[in-house]
A and B are shown apart, each in its own frame.
Chain A
Amino acid sequence: MPVLEVERLTKRFGEVLAVDDLSFAVRRGEIFGFLGGNGAGKTTTLRMVLDIIRPSSGRIAVFGNAPDKRNTAAIGFLPEERGLYGHMSAIDTIVYFARLKGMAAAEGRSHGLELLARFDLADRATAKISDMSKGMAQKVQLATALVNRPQLLMLDEPFSGLDPVNQGLLEDEILRASERGAAVIFSTHVMQHAERLCDRLLLLRKGHKRFEGTIDEARATLPARIAAIAPRSIAAVAGVAHAEPVEDLGAGWHEWTITLAPDTEVGEVLERCTTGGVPLRRFEERRASLHDVFVSLVGTAEVQP
């Protein structure tokens, strides 16, 4: 049974269609990337999963139940817009959220202290949030999402506002959660994180699903390209859809960018060059990056490298 199952989910705000007929499922131990530009419907979908807002139509099942039958003890959530009670101490904040999720205070405190130690904040456990830097407060908030060892961890734009060190720390926590069997969903429009972390990902554009699958499957949606240095005869090799000369290197040699015909493997073209006597000084496959896929499916305006 998937940890989270979304079926034909639609959400309208008046005339605005925020989420359009969206279906996906996330399984135990899986890291699921929720990719899309601003206003793609990522936050709205996560809020519907948490029952903060209700869908216009469609079905959501969290651990097999409707989201209104809350299982907060098994869910961790880090919102995009972050904030905590300024007058509370770090550990009291963590314990407060632990208790709201049904944990005993003592257990919440001991795991909270463990998390703070892992986040290099052990000596600031009793410091007030208002006396902490923004980065420290963000780590405390991450601890509030993790304190209950959630089986479904949802992170909305978790990397925004974090420095590179803390981004690494967050990546570690995502991997750690996945290793202990939690389903992790995180939304982002930063492709590097998705490429490094995601088992599967979903691309959203204006509330509509444009792609769902693994990173390799995503890359495969765009034809592979080959960078080659060869004579002009390479353009006639079977399987080459288009050969674009980049630079004339003299003595009959050119640098080419080659686009393959659909369903043509790179290896097949290399073999035909060899058997057909087409000399090669360079033959390098360039697979589409996730960035290319995102730009292709979602649009250039929505991407952040």
Chain B
Amino acid sequence: MNRASIMLVARREFRQIAAMKSFWLTLLLVPIALALGPIVGQALEDDEATRVVVLDRSGGTARAAIVDRFEFEEDRYRLSALSRYVRRHGLEQADPQAPWAQHDRWYTAADVAAFRAQGGMDAAIAALDAVKPEETSSFEAPEPQYEFPAAPETLVAASDDELDARVDTLLDSEGDEEVATVVMIGRDYPADPTIRLWSNEQPATSFVTVLQDVLTGDLRQRLLTGRGLSPQEAQAIQSAAPAIAVTTPPPGGGAREALLIRSIVPLALAYILMMSLMLSGSWMLQGSVEERSNKLLESLLACIRPEELMYGKLLGALAVGFSMILVWVGCAAVVAFATHGAIADMIRPALAPLTSPGIILAMIYFFVAGYVAISILFVAIGALADSMSEAQGYLMPILLGILLPITFLIQAIVMGQTGIMVQVLTWVPLWTPFAVLARLGAGIEMWEIVGSGVLLAGFVWLEIVFLGRLFRASLLSQGQKPGLKQLFERFRATPQ
């Protein structure tokens, strides 16, 4: 075996692919798409508060109760988010007594009241900024979900007959005056507890639940005081609630969350393996078909052995795949460095699997072996086909057979399942690289890694022997469409 010839073929293959416009487009489009994804997502994200008009014709305190309750829920949510941020960065020393430094309970009305009394979000952020290290990103408080503007005069003054039409006009208005929902409390409330709700879309369940909760409380308060209880007693009954003590792992430490975060790098590797294989494989196939259709093979085979040609092609494909990965990972690293705040925070736990040299070795091994195992199929198809359309005929069933189960596999890993399908895919060599790579983050037994790795090595060796024979035997049989019998003969054949 002449290594210099193999390297020459590999270099030529690489150069040919690198000269293709599609190679550069793909190389650049993937990072651009990944970068644009969050930007577009953010642009499409509806981060404006939903405007709700509450028309209280009963003249009571129902509107104020509804608005108070929604503001309370918003503050509890923001307090909870702030608590997670403080815990993630260990900033409790900013104010150990503040509610956001207590992570062990479901925040109550008293906690929210204390938070507000201490100056709310602005005071909390000021306290945290004073102690947080410079490289730690600042906390970004979630925007309020609902806004309650005063009911417009046209609606307040509307008669019962005019009401529906004026609500429709209001819901149809656009711009700053846009209103998504109108809630009307009738004149006879609470004698008639019917509440009307207009909305230009299906209202969120959480909104209706809170609305119902507030008005149910109000009705019960009235019923209890109507039965002779003092307002304080009635309120005490109403606000009786268990104190829920909460024990959770730190951010990124929960079982499901941790599994997902630890699986980011291995899953990304499995995806990248799949993408780069498909791309470099089809480019390599194009090159092989060109060699056949341009009648180049005999000239080449007069200089090098078929095996050298095959290994050179494999090496070239591997180099193309690795260069794509290098560029993509490089782009990701630049992004992570440039935004060393939020993304770096997310990436740090995701890189946890890479702290083990064994896992790094396993990743490299399964990635390379997977690349060779699948690329060799492309090489063999290239030796069989005289045209791209003929190659597609061989390729489609093989690609479907490889890719469909992998799609299900990755979904299963993300959902934390390790059922029979995941096990089977781990032990079938064509799917082994994807299955093991995807499972490395979620946890896979050492014996499974070693066993499936050995099986994969054996499979690659068999592929090299048998597909090598097919490659050699098919190279010069141009124009002959092999039937199944001829294919088997070529697998069996020693060089002839």
Contact = CB atoms under 8 A, between A and B. Distances in A.
A79 interface: yes
B137 interface: no
Contact of A96 (B8, B293, B301, B305): B8
B302 A83 contact: no
A79 B299 contact: yes
A52 B476 CA distance: 9
Contacts of A295: none
A84 B296 contact: yes
B294 A85 contact: yes
Interface stretch (A97-105, A114-122, A243-251, A268-276): A97-105
Interface in B69-105: none
Contacts of A102: 4
Nearest to A99: B8
B495 A54 contact: yes
Interface string B455-496: 000000000000000000000100000000000000000011
A67 B402 CA distance: 40
Interface in B277-328: 290-291, 293-296, 298-305
Contacts of A50: 301-302
B19 interface: yes
A83 B295 contact: yes
Contacts of A87: 16, 19
Q: Is the interface of A mostly helix, strand, loop or mixed?
A: loop
Q: How large is the interface on A (under 10, 10 to 19, 20 to 34, 35 or more residues)?
A: 20 to 34
A123 interface: no
A141 B294 contact: no
A95 to B, nearest CB: 10
A50 to B, nearest CB: 5
A81 interface: yes
A86 B290 contact: yes
A101 B299 CA distance: 11
Interface string A28-55: 0000000000000000000100111110
Given A72-B302, A87-B19, A96 B12 contact: yes
A205 B476 CA distance: 23
B5 interface: yes
A75 interface: yes
Q: How large is the interface on B (under 10, 10 to 19, 20 to 34, 35 or more residues)?
A: 20 to 34
A171 B16 CA distance: 34
A82 B290 CA distance: 13
A77 interface: yes
Nearest to A148: B303
A77 B304 CA distance: 12
A144 interface: yes
Contact of A100 (B16, B19, B298, B303): B303
Interface in A258-280: none
A53 B476 contact: yes
Contact of A97 (B290, B294, B299): B299
A79 B302 contact: yes
Contacts of A70: 305
B304 A100 contact: yes
A85 B298 contact: no
B177 to A, nearest CB: 62
A83 B295 CA distance: 5
A78 B476 CA distance: 15
B294 A79 contact: no
Interface in B1-17: 4-5, 8, 12, 16
A97 B303 contact: yes
A72 B303 contact: yes
A248 B185 CA distance: 136
A79 B295 contact: yes
Contacts of B295: 79, 81-83
Nearest to A78: B299
A60 to B, nearest CB: 14
Nearest to B496: A54
Interface in A62-112: 70, 72, 75, 77-79, 81-87, 96-97, 99-102
A51 B476 CA distance: 12
Contacts of A54: 495-496
Contacts of B8: 96, 99-100
Interface string B140-176: 0000000000000000000000000000000000000
A83 B303 contact: no
Contacts of B12: 85, 96
A288 B296 CA distance: 40
Nearest to B20: A87
Contacts of B19: 87
Interface in A122-138: none
A228 B296 CA distance: 55
A83 B301 CA distance: 13
A79 to B, nearest CB: 4
A75 B302 CA distance: 8
Contact of B16 (A47, A52, A85): A85
Q: A79, A83, A85, A100: which has the most chain B beta carbons within 10 Å?
A: A100
Given A52-B476, A84-B296, A86-B294, A77 B16 contact: no
Given A53-B476, A85-B16, A77 B496 contact: no
B5 A100 contact: yes
Given A52-B476, A53-B476, A53-B496, A77 B299 contact: yes
A282 B303 CA distance: 58
Contacts of B290: 85-86
B298 A52 contact: yes
Contacts of B495: 53-54
A81 B293 CA distance: 11
B89 to A, nearest CB: 54
Contacts of B299: 77-79, 82-84, 97, 141, 144
Nearest to B494: A54
Nearest to A55: B496
A99 B476 CA distance: 23
Contacts of A47: 298, 476
A122 B24 CA distance: 32
B64 to A, nearest CB: 76
A96 B299 CA distance: 12
Given A81-B295, A86-B290, A52 B303 contact: no
A97 B300 CA distance: 8
A19 to B, nearest CB: 13
A47 B495 CA distance: 13
Given A72-B303, A84-B294, A86-B290, 4 more contacts: A53-B476, A86-B294, A100-B303, A101-B303
- Nearest first, the 7 closest Cβ-Cβ pairs linking A and B are A83-B294, A83-B295, A77-B302, A79-B298, A100-B303, A81-B295, A52-B301
Interface of A: 47, 50-54, 70, 72, 75, 77-79, 81-87, 96-97, 99-102, 141, 144
12 contacts: A50-B301, A50-B302, A52-B298, A72-B302, A72-B304, A77-B298, A77-B299, A81-B295, A81-B298, A85-B12, A100-B303, A102-B4
